[in-house]
Structure formats: structure tokens, C-alpha cells
Amino acid sequence: MPVSVSHPLTQEFLRAGIAWGLRGAPVATRLADAIVVALESEDAGDEPIRAALEPFAAPGVGVRIPERILAEVHHWVLSGEASELARWFPTVGGFSSAIEMPELWPAFRDVVAARAETLQDALSRPWQGAELGLAPLVAAGLQAVASGTTYSLRLLEPGAGAGLNLCADRYAGRPWCTLPPACCGWKAVIAERSGCDRWPISPHTADGLRRLQSCLLPDDVEGLDRLAEAVELARQVPAVVVQADAADWLEEELNRDGTGLVTVVLHSLLDEALNPARLALIDEIVHEAASHATQRTPLALLRIEPVAEEGGAERVHATVTTWPGGARALLATSDEAGRRIVWDGELAG
């Protein structure tokens, strides 16, 4: 690792490398560490990496750049466009010993150099991972809302991507979607599930599924099975994701008559996907709807977003706010991948 840190994206790749190392992902960690060195060096061979990332170095231009660059290259490997990397990527049957691992970086660098324009185009789009790690938080939130009402739920998710977390209640009980003891006796009945996204992904097409697979780390073979199971379960549930602006769509949905249903707005990882003005508008739209909520038209906001905790480290906080009344409860915290979940005392039972 370099002693000095000068490139604006270096800290992002340092963060990613540490996180991926903790998840036991040697290929992803090796690449993150190598990109850190490339960003801080003047090696001419690393210039394609620096050039590809340069447009995203300004503050606020891009989020999750490490995840997005790795996902795009992973997509090329899964589709066969970058078969030269396959022998290192476990998701396509690859495996490398520690002795072979140093050969990964030159091969990766050559692939990026050959497809630099394609990579830059991909990095200009927002992150759209399936985020199934957050499914336990979503499922627990839905059951927490359901525990306080006899009504069925109407679930709305702006920025839904592939819409898989609209079906999170169906994943409960799977080994990868374990809920706290207090949730075991609750059952959320969801009458409507809908979402929107500027770039929606259909998980039921070959291309859409590959796009979601590419957002897994190349070391995450178990993630492929988890994703396949989630997609199959989601296929059994009507959940529509339309192409639309998040704020415009949500305002229209909240203006629809929801009498006799609890309308639940799922606000999950939107803070990193939208600019501050659009986030503020969504907040205004939710609170305007909340001001009109009644016992016959209740509203709930299930918010799953990163929050800076003491010391500056971020943890994802899952909270539920319900109206009328505006009561707010913290359900749990987790890391950004939905791992190391700490349930609130009452939920933990």
C-alpha cells in the first residue's frame, strides 16, 4: 500500500478493499488493492485505469465506484466478453492459488484498457445491485408494520432496481434471510407491490439476470444460488417495476386512494443514488402524504439507509415511522451488505 494518499478515489478503493477482505473475497480484495496502487503511482502501464476513473474523481460525481467498476468487468466475464479473466473468477468456475494471483492484475488492466469507453459509460449509470443482503431488514420492517394493524399492506419502492426486495417477505426463513425471534409470529399480508427505477432491470430475462449476477463479487459463488432462489420466489409474486423518476412516481402513487390498506414506502439506499434536491423532494412528498394519513389510510416509511455513527464509521440503519402519529422505531443496524445485523432489543427477543 502507498504511504501517501493523493487521488480523490483512493479512499473509496481502500474502503472497498477492507470491506471485501472482511467478506472473504480474495479476488475482489486483490483488485481493489491494485487499483489503489495504480491511482497513486505514475506507472505508464496503469494509465488506462487512471484515465477510466478520471471523470468520476470529482466529489459527488459518483458513488460506489469500486463496486461499479468491478461489476462491469464481472459482467464481461459472465457474458464471455472477457474470458481471459475467467480463470480467476470463482463465479465462472475459476480458481487461483496465491502464487497465481499476481498475474490477475496485469490481465485485469489489459481488459480495462481494451474497453475503456464501455467502462466509462457503465460508470455513468447508478449502482443497481440486488441488495439481497438487506432483505432481512425489509422483511422485518414489513412484519413490524403488519403487527400493528389488521389491514393488508401496499408496498411502494422508488428506485427499486430489479424489484427483488419488494418480495422480501417471501424470503423470510431462508438461511440468507433470517429474522429475529420477535418476528416469527407475525405475518405481513401484502396486497400490492410496485416500484420504479430510471433504469429498471428484469430479473426474469437472461440479460437482466446476468446484470444482477455481475453485481455480486466474483468470489461469491453462494451469492449466485441465493440470487437464483430469490428470483424464482419473486417470479411467484406480482410485483411491477416501471421506468419512471422516483419522486414523480411516488407522488402519483401516494395520491391514489389507499383506503383500507397500510401504504408502506420503502426508502432503501436512495441516499446514495439520488442527488440532494431529489431526495429532499421525496421527503416532502412523503411528509405531505403523512399529514393526510388517517386510521383508514395509514402510512409507514421503512427507511434503510447508511448513517454516520460515532467515530465517523457508517452503518445501515433500518427504521420504521408510522402515521398518523409519526412514531419512529429503530429496527436494526447492519453493514452496507446487510451482514452483521444487530437487531433492536425488543425485536431480538
Would you say residue 348 has pLDDT above 70?
no
What are phi and psi for residue 320, nearest 5 degrees? -125, 130
By the 8 A CB rule, do 250 and 265 touch?
Answer: yes
Least confidently predicted of 12-16, 69-73, 123-127, 188-192: 123-127
* pLDDT tens figures, 130-144: 678 899 999 999 999
By the 8 A CB rule, do 265 and 286 touch?
Answer: yes
Helix, strand, coil content of the chain in percent (nearest 5):
45, 15, 35
Least confidently predicted of 39-48, 49-58, 121-130, 265-274: 121-130
d(CA 214, CA 209) in angstroms, rounded, equals 9
Q: Buried (b) or exposed (e) across 78-92, using 16+ Cβ within 10 A?
A: beeebeebeebbbbb
Would you say residue 299 has pLDDT above 70?
yes
Place of cell 399529514: 291
Q: What is the mean pLDDT of residues 204-223?
A: 95
- Verify cis geometry, omega within 30 degrees of 0, for the bond prior to 324: yes
Place of cell 483488485: 31
Q: At what angle do helices 116-123 and 65-79 cross, to 10 degrees?
A: 130
pLDDT of residue 1: 45
By the 8 A CB rule, do 97 and 302 touch?
Answer: no
Q: Please state, as a whole number, how many other Cβ atoms lie within 10 Å of the Cβ of residue 13.
A: 24
* pLDDT tens figures, 215-265: 999 999 999 999 999 999 999 998 999 999 999 999 999 999 999 999 999
Q: pLDDT exceeding 70 applies to what percent of the chain?
A: 94
Least confidently predicted of 22-36, 178-192, 324-338: 178-192
Round the average pLDDT of the chain to a whole number and report it: 90
Q: Please state, as a whole number, how many other Cβ atoms lie within 10 Å of the Cβ of residue 181.
A: 10
Beta bridge partners of 300: 264, 322
Sheet holding 299-308, edge to edge: 240-243, 190-197, 152-158, 261-268, 299-308, 314-323, 327-334, 342-343
Longest alpha-carbon distance in the chain: 66
Angle CA 268–92–272, to nearest 5: 20
Would you say residue 3 has pLDDT above 50?
no
Give the pTM: 0.91
Would you say residue 91 has pLDDT above 80?
yes
Where are the domains positioned within the chain?
10-123, 132-348
